[in-house]
Amino acid sequence: MLLLKQLFGKERLLRNFEWKSGVHSSASKVVTFKLGRPPFTTDKTTSLGADGTRPGRPASRQRILLTLILWLGTAAVLAAEELAAQRAAFQVVLNLQSQGQHEKAREAIRGLENYPLFPYYLYNDLRRRLNQLPHAEVQKFLRDYEQFPLAERMRAAWLKVLRRKQRWQSFIDFYQPSGSTSVRCDFLRARIETGDERAVLSETRSVWLDGSSLPDTCDFAFERLYASPLMTDALLLQRIGLAFDKNNTRLAGYLGKRLQTADSRQRFDAWQDAHSTPLRVLQQQQVEDDETHRALAQHALLRLSRRDPELSAKVWLQASAHYRFSEEDRGIALRTIALGLAGAKAPGAIRALDAVPESHADDRIQALRLRTGIENRAWPHLARWTAGPSPTSVYALRWRYWQARALEEIGQTSAANALQHELAQERDYYGFLAAERLGEDYRFNNRTVGATEEELAGLASRAALVRARELLLLEQPEDARREWFHELRHLDKRQLEIAASLAASWEQPSDAILALGRAQSYDDLELRFPLLHHKEISLQATRRDLDPARVLAIVRSESAFNARARSHAGALGLMQLMPATARQTATRIGLPLTHTEYLYRPRENITLGTAYLSTLLKTYDGNFVLTSAAYNAGPSRVNSWLPPVCTPAEFWIEQIPFTETRRYVRRALFYTAIYQQRLGATVEPLSSVMPQILTNLSAEEASCNS
């Protein structure tokens, strides 16, 4: 019945229906199954039916239900078989297309028009003929499949063709706003080419007014802007300032050459001086105190604070005595100085952070206050700084935990304990730390999503998810994920939870984790922390003297069990190995690695990943905090982050300069505890795997323990 529900959906089971399939690969005609009214006993020549009913009367409800179930069950089996046959036939079509045998593909696709992935055949066929296609054929595809991810890709490809052929009116007809500045500039050009130049100038100016270098496709529209009355020296100087703010000196120089008046060129020279020799500009006392020179002084202060934060703080006192800065300007300057001092961990950082007006204490200042307060054990400041709600850039539980620690350190034990007790209810790194401080048990709070068969069947019958499933079965994972992501945008919270269960049943754990994340539903530990590849992981972990829970935690953190994962940096597979690291490890353990494609294979990836993890763990004398940091950021960086004095691990973690690595280490620690609980092993307290961080891994251990 579940299979039947997945194929037809709940509503269609509750009424008489007609099912029409496509065609078997071995047949050329459409096979049609019609299921009409359920059978009744109507033979009036017999006094009693076999079930004891009188002639002409319906059979018993039980018999009707049994017959209906048998009929529907048969139909479901036939439907599944038919779909499998269509899938096999479509694979042949895809193979023919990939081999360039398009005429044979066109013959082979006949009869598969009702197969869910038929639009993919059309897409492939249209893409290869895009240069010769008439307007109407593309328009029909986009109209027929506007709800498909394919439509977005087809539109983008078609717009490139129209641009290349300079069919500007068609470009306007097909254009839809997107995040691409290049395509937006093409749209501006299309409007200019079709006679809409005056109307488009204002929009062109808004695109142009950016401190970044913009795509070459924008040049056509920009040249019209430069030639228009809208382009003035004042506007050029405005963008020059934006360019200098982004340290884009090449763009600033290009724009400077377009300035018309001597006064404007003099102001440009002043901007260059503020950018290249900020100290000299800030120390000038003979310049006028006007808006222009105040802006230059602020830029010079920003530049100097990055080069020499301590000097910038001193020079600011001189500049603020000369210039009549507004309160807004003063706030910006104090924020700039605080960022420089705190970023450089310079003396006076605490005082500078404290001096920033609350009106300018944005998320970045708040994050630096937290980090600097922890590093310097500035508990009174930290207690005051964290008294309010956490900024969006700082993880809320992190904020509350260090607020509790600060309150504890300044003697407000009762308030600290109350806050830590709240935190201890959370299944989280900080929740576990708080529980340990109070001597309480960890709260794992496992609550399953509990998707019913009806819910799973109903969601699985949605057209996009039917396509996603078929694409997975045809080993087209990228297209499957596009369909999956596209459909998730249309689901509510409960549907997202059901989608997570569905993805898990399809052995797509990363998609399940993603769906739960979008639903902000974090309590189903079986879905969020799967045990996929557990047998291979346990085998290799035992071989390398590793805790399987730690390996699972690394896999979960690195790839979320997506064996085809590839990072922006080029790390591959389940344990996200860089090819060079994988080759070195393979040579060391004697494992042939003839092609990096092998890193997408779970067995090879786990073998190499566990070997590399074991090496790191030995390098760092069993310290999993340093090991996990090195696995993410590399050993050389971690070695450069070692503290000047022996430091508790929870303090050192907060000082990791890379946000990604800082989060990664926290996850690795508490994911390990979750996997230990899932595996039925003893859950090690976090404190037992967080020894103090030594300056020298072979010395000073005695001083740490003293």
Shared domain for 684 and 584, answered yes or no, is yes
Q: What is the DSSP letter of 60?
A: P
Beta bridge partners of 572: 566, 577
Q: Does the residue 700 lie in any domain?
A: yes
Give 627-686 pLDDT, tens digit per residue. Answer: 999 999 999 999 999 998 899 999 999 999 999 999 999 999 999 999 999 999 999 999
Of residues 8 and 507, more confidence is placed in 507
The least confident of 264-268, 318-322, 382-386, 421-425 is: 318-322
* 654 belongs to the catalytic site: no
pLDDT at 24: 33
Tokens representing residue 456 in the block: 């799973």
Mean pLDDT calculated for residue range 258-269:
95
pLDDT at 255: 97
The least confident of 54-63, 141-150, 572-581, 648-657 is: 54-63
Question: Which string of DSSP letters, residue by residue, matches 336-372?
Answer: HHHHHHHHTT-TTHHHHHHHS-GGG--HHHHHHHHHH
Shared domain for 515 and 565, answered yes or no, is no
Tokens representing residue 563 in the block: 């064996």
Domain boundary among 95, 115, 135: 115
Residue tagged active-site, from 375, 455, 487, 558: 558
Share of the chain above pLDDT 70, in %: 87
Contact 212, 246 (CB under 8 A): yes
SS3 19: strand
CA atoms of 577 and 301, how far apart (whole Å): 43
State the CATH number of the domain containing residue 541: 1.10.530.10
SS3 197: helix
Beta bridge partners of 693: 647
CA atoms of 117 and 86, how far apart (whole Å): 10
CA atoms of 269 and 271, how far apart (whole Å): 5
Give 86-132 pLDDT, tens digit per residue. Answer: 999 999 999 999 999 999 999 999 999 999 999 999 999 999 999 99
Confidence of residue 592 (pLDDT cuts 50, 70, 90): confident
Number of domains in the chain: 3
CA atoms of 646 and 583, how far apart (whole Å): 35
Shared domain for 516 and 541, answered yes or no, is no
Shared domain for 27 and 103, answered yes or no, is yes
Mean pLDDT calculated for residue range 550-564:
96
Confidence of residue 64 (pLDDT cuts 50, 70, 90): low
Which residue is associated with the tokens 């303090």?
651
Confidence of residue 46 (pLDDT cuts 50, 70, 90): very low
pLDDT at 75: 53
Amino acid at 289: D
47 pLDDT above the threshold of 60? no
Contact 423, 397 (CB under 8 A): yes
Q: Does the residue 258 lie in any domain?
A: no
Shared domain for 555 and 677, answered yes or no, is yes
Provide φ and ψ at 456, rounded to 5°: -65, -45
Comparing CA positions, the residue from 359, 303, 366 lying closest to residue 336 is 303
pLDDT at 703: 55
- Within 10 angstroms of residue 70's Cβ, the number of other Cβ atoms is 10
CB-based burial of residue 583 (10 Å sphere; 0-12 exposed, 13-18 middle, 19+ buried)?
middle
pLDDT at 439: 95
Comparing CA positions, the residue from 627, 646, 648, 622 lying closest to residue 638 is 627
Q: What is the DSSP letter of 34?
A: E
- Within 10 angstroms of residue 554's Cβ, the number of other Cβ atoms is 27
Shared domain for 567 and 460, answered yes or no, is no
> What is the dihedral sign for C-alpha 266, 268, 271, 273?
negative
pLDDT at 284: 80
Shared domain for 485 and 538, answered yes or no, is no
Contact 182, 215 (CB under 8 A): yes
Amino acid at 188: L
Domain boundary among 66, 87, 115: 115
H helix count then E strand count, the chain? 39, 2
CA distances from 220 to 160, 543, 603 (A): 16, 63, 53
Q: Does the residue 584 lie in any domain?
A: yes
Shared domain for 459 and 559, answered yes or no, is no
Contact 692, 704 (CB under 8 A): yes
51 pLDDT above the threshold of 60? no
pLDDT at 19: 34
Q: Does the residue 612 lie in any domain?
A: yes
Q: Does the residue 304 lie in any domain?
A: no
Distance from CA of residue 519 to its chain's centroid? 14
Beta bridge partners of 32: 20
pLDDT at 393: 82
CA atoms of 576 and 168, how far apart (whole Å): 45
pLDDT at 423: 97
- The H or E element spanning position 453 is helix 453-460
Contact 672, 688 (CB under 8 A): no
pLDDT at 9: 40
Which residue is associated with the tokens 């109407």?
136
What does the chain come to in residues? 706
Contact 154, 127 (CB under 8 A): yes
Domain that holds residue 496: 453-522
pLDDT at 697: 52
SS3 647: strand
State the CATH number of the domain containing residue 498: 1.10.1240
SS3 17: strand
pLDDT at 320: 83
Q: What is the DSSP letter of 53?
A: P
Contact 211, 177 (CB under 8 A): no
Contact 289, 322 (CB under 8 A): yes
The least confident of 59-68, 230-239, 371-380 is: 59-68
Shared domain for 28 and 103, answered yes or no, is yes
Domain boundary among 483, 499, 522: 522
Comparing CA positions, the residue from 396, 329, 399 lying closest to residue 369 is 399
Shared domain for 498 and 630, answered yes or no, is no
pLDDT at 163: 96
Shared domain for 701 and 552, answered yes or no, is yes
Contact 438, 417 (CB under 8 A): yes
CB-based burial of residue 53 (10 Å sphere; 0-12 exposed, 13-18 middle, 19+ buried)?
middle
CA atoms of 22 and 706, how far apart (whole Å): 78
Shared domain for 499 and 613, answered yes or no, is no
Tokens representing residue 468 in the block: 């996603």
Q: Does the residue 78 lie in any domain?
A: yes
Distance from CA of residue 245 to its chain's centroid? 29
Mean pLDDT calculated for residue range 223-236:
96
Q: Does the residue 481 lie in any domain?
A: yes
CA atoms of 544 and 549, how far apart (whole Å): 13
Q: Does the residue 241 lie in any domain?
A: no
